[in-house]
Structure 1
Amino acid sequence: MNPGDTRAFAAQLLVPVLNGKGSLSSLDADLASSVIKERDRGFVKALCFGVCRTHPRLEALANQLLREPLKARDTDIQALLLIGLYQILHMRVPPHAAVSETAGAARAFGKGWATKVINGCLRRFQRESVALQGKVDRDAPVALWHPAWMLLEFRDAWPDNWRAICEANNEPGPMTLRVNRRRVTREDYLQRLTTAGLAASPCAVAEDGIQLESPCDVTQLPGFAEGDISVQDESAQLCADLLAPVLTDSNDKRVLDACSAPGGKTAHLLERFDARLTALDVDATRLKRVATTLQRLHLDATLHAADASAASADDSWWDGEPFDVILLDAPCSGTGVIRRHPDIKLARRHSDIAELAALQGRLLASLWAKLAPGGTLLYATCSVLPVENATQIERFLARTPDAVADTPSDLSWGRPAGQGQQLLPAATGHDGFFYARLRKQA
């Protein structure tokens, strides 16, 4: 397989993302089932993630280079042009290869005419790079690699931090691990990593977290297959810390993880506490990932595929006994984890935010009815937008007389946000996350 085919395959994967009709969520599976050789898969993945991460700027440059916009049916050629620009700007690919191999990849789509278009655009960019970049960077969304609507939301919500949020979003997140304390201590596992030649350090705020100095394949992690360790961002691990006060005083608490896939928080709760846990998710396919995760970690939970929202709640999975603890890791904009899912910049629309906030409100109302008096509900999102976080909780408390905010006021991480706690993405640390702990009055 010639190098051009890897670029054509990357362009093929990017087409639905550029058209706003897909994401990179199945990228690893797509690569595994493809004819792309294993040694080339990292290159394809880097192209796809890189184009999405830098898309606003690449798109602006492409618009300057093209004499006229490409037709909708030629999104594959647009993808190749963006791939070529990304290689020249951000990869160590020899410039001549970035140009010739990317242009030649157009033939894989039966569009030989496009080889001249791509070749001409990329060669012109090489000649006029400084001037073209200076021109497009006058526009803040282009210079900061974010859609204009998203940039405005960040500026309104975080006037002192919006630029830092963008900069953190534009850097790939560090690889963070979570030790399974049923099997190993963090100190012991750090020593095992040192022995394996993997540099790492304890996370600053998550008790079970370890941050690797450099990412690696999970097969290189000692004890991964045996369940000693999992990959999970530090922010996501704080869920178990916040629920520790209400789960350590009893071994028989009924716990519901209402939006559980892919299962990281489900597993962490079971690693930390002896509880009767039910894991729920609306997507039966994604729920299988929860089962796989629990099997690797030698943990057990009751799994149900069902919609927990009030609009279409199917309560056939529920036996009617209230839960002592409910975790609602609500569907959200994902604006706190863009660095790990850069396709969010293309897949998410401004109109989605109101729809997501409405869904979050329905989930809160529906699940509150299943919470026992005196019980605790932990609301979480990987968003940095107040309408999904502090404002959402403020509105829920206003319409729910028996709900009381119970988020600790002495947390060593994040910042107070209404009745909850907000973490903003940190360039070399945790993702962006929001938590609010609520108690149901007896």
Structure 2
Amino acid sequence: MSARRPQPHAKGAPLPPARAAALAALDKVLRKGQEVQAALDAVLADAAARNEASARANASKASASNSTTHVANASSTTPDGSALRHAGISRQDAALATELVYGYLRSEIRISWLLRRFLTAPEKLPPEALLTLGVAAHEIVHLDRIPDYAAVDWAVTHIRQRFGPGLGKLANAVLRNVARLGGDARNAEMYHADLPDPRDFLSVHHAAPRWLVDLWCDAYGMDRATDLLASSAQAPAPAVRVNAARPGWQTLRDQLIADHGGTACGHAGVVFPVGGFPAEVAALERAGLLSRQGAASQEVLDALRPDTWEGPVWDACCGRGGKALALLERGVDVGLCSDPNAGRLRGLRADAERLGLAVPAIVRASATQPPCATDGTCPAGGPGGPARPVPPVQPVTPDTPVTNVGTASAGAFRTILIDAPCSGLGTLSRRPDIKLRRSPADLDALAALQGRILDAALSVLPTGGRLVYITCTLNPAENEAQVERLLSPTGAASAAPVIVEAQHTTPADTPAREFFFGVVLRKG
């Protein structure tokens, strides 16, 4: 129908900046498959650039008709464009856009179910119109500080201007029906009444894919799965890691706890109440006094007793180096960091310099084929096993030389840390877009990759060395089953036996609302 085709924007109230940014970012996530934070950052950066260009154009026009003194006084109020950056999308709008994007993704399954109660054929609506209804419904159901009429008004106006009066009337009726639900929209009883199957109820009420509900119920039982699902559907508590390499770090940690109602976590961390980072965190971060790192990530590392690890340590899946830097801050001998992603490695180098830490050797390499021998070969089956060629190590940047682990013998690294690529199911509160991208087939592929990485690490780990394995997921195939395979006499590629020295799983009632698994294995 022609009324449902996008129409040029009619004259009238423009789409509010926060809603415009949220819809644009969600389109990138849902339609283009971008990662949520990258999509949101891109949209906000584009808005800032447009605002700055517009402000400069206006300033240029003004300079033609005003005195030089007047222009100088005006420019002095916006040093480095800082005020222009928020000229059209304020900090408040940016914060609301962030809440709308993350909140909608966390609740999308529940919101879609609610909308279907009042839509006979939602699949026939234009995707933009359906997304607009979903974001507005999320505001009505979950954001108490926004009046229902305000959420209805912007969404109906936008849909009417884009798709015509017919869909505008439909949007008005649907959203008013959602608003009439009142508190029932968050009340478990309403969902129980329409969803008699307990797992269907958990899926809708906690906005989780049914396959994930089945996975956690089968693995952990209904009660624990319910707790995990409830935590994963809420915003995580923000946390920082105070730089323990700086003098007086304990005083800074204690001050942050006292000033902001925080609690200690891990070795040098602070977890704050849900609602955002304190204002001074950005300045302290720039000064190298702290870094942003999730509480559960800090806790799993501390629970595995890194002070007892024999060095040097090789972080073979270092990413941007959050855990490697945490180890360096507490004096652990990290000799090498490797990862296949050059961009992340450049970030690691920059963060190490910001924190005032000696930059460890950094190489670009896959953990499935570690570069680890002086003669260009690695033992594939433990001591005395056949050798395999090692692919060339690629430098992190063309003009910055990096140290090759090949300068040391294969047995130089007494501890290998595998912060493994995983399904990320323990981080749904922080990365809710994972629910849209993951499938059971992805979990199988990741488990296979983890197995190859673990076997490669064991093949170069000397006798008596430690293998530390960490994931940010809750999936037995990626966690406990990997350990069981390595403990089996016939399960791992290495013939040497391994024993478990320490193991940790984040408890379901953690205030962090994120979940990690970790284990320390010693090679016999």
TM-score normalised by the chain length of structure 2 = 0.73
CA distance in 2: counterparts of 1:236 and 1:311, whole angstroms: 25
Structure 1 residue 428 displacement after superposition: 1.8
Larger mean CA deviation between 128-137 and 357-366 belongs to: 128-137
Partner in structure 2 of residue 350 of structure 1: 440
Deviation digits for residues 48-91 of structure 1, max 9, x if unmatched?
A: 1011111111111122222213348x322221111011000011
CA 1:216–1:10: 2 relative to 1, 3 Å: closer
Partner in structure 1 of residue 384 of structure 2: none
Structure 1 residue 390 displacement after superposition: 0.5
CA distance in 2: counterparts of 1:324 and 1:192, whole angstroms: 37
1:123 corresponds to 2:187 = no
Residue 98 of structure 2, aligned match among 30, 45, 48: 45
What are the within-5 Å matches in structure 2 for residues 388-403 of structure 1?
A: 388-398=478-488, 399-400=491-492, 401-403=495-497
CA distance in 2: counterparts of 1:48 and 1:199, whole angstroms: 27
* Matched-pair contact (CA < 8 Å) for 2:501–2:522: no
* Matched-pair contact (CA < 8 Å) for 1:146–1:166: yes
Deviation digits for residues 206-248 of structure 1, max 9, x if unmatched?
A: 222222235544651263222222222233223255253444x
Structure 1 residue 301 displacement after superposition: 1.9
CA distance in 1: counterparts of 2:182 and 2:497, whole angstroms: 57
Residue 321 of structure 1, aligned match among 369, 389, 409: 409
1:257 corresponds to 2:315 = yes
* Matched-pair contact (CA < 8 Å) for 1:381–1:433: yes
Amino acid at match of 1:53: R
1:177 corresponds to 2:240 = yes
Partner in structure 1 of residue 280 of structure 2: 220
Partner in structure 2 of residue 163 of structure 1: 226
CA distance in 2: counterparts of 1:227 and 1:241, whole angstroms: 25
Deviation digits for residues 108-164 of structure 1, max 9, x if unmatched?
A: 8x4346433322321232345678854655541101221111001110111141111
**Unaligned runs of at least 5 residues, structure 1:** 409-419
CA distance in 2: counterparts of 1:285 and 1:105, whole angstroms: 39
CA distance in 1: counterparts of 2:369 and 2:254, whole angstroms: 48
Residue 112 of structure 2, aligned match among 59, 72, 90: 59
Deviation digits for residues 20-53 of structure 1, max 9, x if unmatched?
A: 8333031452244121613211111101101111
Partner in structure 2 of residue 269 of structure 1: 327
What are the within-5 Å matches in structure 2 for residues 128-147 of structure 1?
A: 134=191, 138=196, 139-140=200-201, 141-147=203-209
Amino acid at match of 1:151: V
Larger mean CA deviation between 398-407 and 371-380 belongs to: 398-407
Amino acid at match of 2:456: S
CA distance in 2: counterparts of 1:17 and 1:403, whole angstroms: 45
CA 1:55–1:216: 2 relative to 1, 3 Å: closer
Partner in structure 1 of residue 256 of structure 2: 193
Partner in structure 1 of residue 36 of structure 2: 24
CA distance in 2: counterparts of 1:353 and 1:220, whole angstroms: 39
Amino acid at match of 1:397: L
Amino acid at match of 2:338: L
Partner in structure 2 of residue 407 of structure 1: 501
CA 1:32–1:302: 2 relative to 1, 3 Å: farther
CA distance in 2: counterparts of 1:70 and 1:354, whole angstroms: 31
CA distance in 2: counterparts of 1:228 and 1:182, whole angstroms: 9
* Matched-pair contact (CA < 8 Å) for 2:368–2:456: yes
CA distance in 1: counterparts of 2:257 and 2:448, whole angstroms: 47
Partner in structure 1 of residue 293 of structure 2: 232
CA 1:360–1:407: 2 relative to 1, 3 Å: same
3-state SS, counterpart of residue 155 of structure 2: helix
Amino acid at match of 1:123: R
The percent identity for this pair of structures is 28
CA 1:217–1:233: 2 relative to 1, 3 Å: closer
3-state SS, counterpart of residue 230 of structure 2: helix
1:15 corresponds to 2:38 = no
1:305 corresponds to 2:364 = yes
Residue 141 of structure 2, aligned match among 89, 114, 118: 89
CA distance in 2: counterparts of 1:287 and 1:107, whole angstroms: 48
* Matched-pair contact (CA < 8 Å) for 2:306–2:332: no
CA distance in 2: counterparts of 1:128 and 1:334, whole angstroms: 34
* Matched-pair contact (CA < 8 Å) for 1:84–1:99: yes
Partner in structure 2 of residue 426 of structure 1: 509
CA 1:349–1:434: 2 relative to 1, 3 Å: same
* Matched-pair contact (CA < 8 Å) for 2:256–2:270: no
Residue 284 of structure 1, aligned match among 339, 342, 351: 342
CA distance in 2: counterparts of 1:171 and 1:55, whole angstroms: 12
CA distance in 1: counterparts of 2:135 and 2:246, whole angstroms: 44
Count of paired positions: 421
* Matched-pair contact (CA < 8 Å) for 2:303–2:504: no
* Matched-pair contact (CA < 8 Å) for 1:307–1:314: no
Deviation digits for residues 243-273 of structure 1, max 9, x if unmatched?
A: 53444x6xxx332212212321011011112
* Matched-pair contact (CA < 8 Å) for 1:406–1:439: yes
CA distance in 2: counterparts of 1:389 and 1:225, whole angstroms: 36
Partner in structure 1 of residue 521 of structure 2: 438
Structure 1 residue 378 displacement after superposition: 0.3
Partner in structure 2 of residue 293 of structure 1: 351
Deviation digits for residues 166-211 of structure 1, max 9, x if unmatched?
A: 111122111222222111455411343268x4332223xx222222
* Matched-pair contact (CA < 8 Å) for 1:4–1:102: no
CA distance in 2: counterparts of 1:255 and 1:188, whole angstroms: 29
Partner in structure 2 of residue 331 of structure 1: 421
Structure 1 residue 310 displacement after superposition: 5.0
3-state SS, counterpart of residue 96 of structure 2: helix
CA distance in 2: counterparts of 1:116 and 1:9, whole angstroms: 24
Amino acid at match of 2:130: Q
CA 1:311–1:324: 2 relative to 1, 3 Å: closer
Partner in structure 2 of residue 362 of structure 1: 452
Partner in structure 2 of residue 371 of structure 1: 461
* Matched-pair contact (CA < 8 Å) for 1:171–1:427: no
CA 1:198–1:184: 2 relative to 1, 3 Å: farther
* Matched-pair contact (CA < 8 Å) for 2:414–2:466: yes
Q: CA RMSD in A?
A: 2.8
CA distance in 1: counterparts of 2:323 and 2:370, whole angstroms: 25
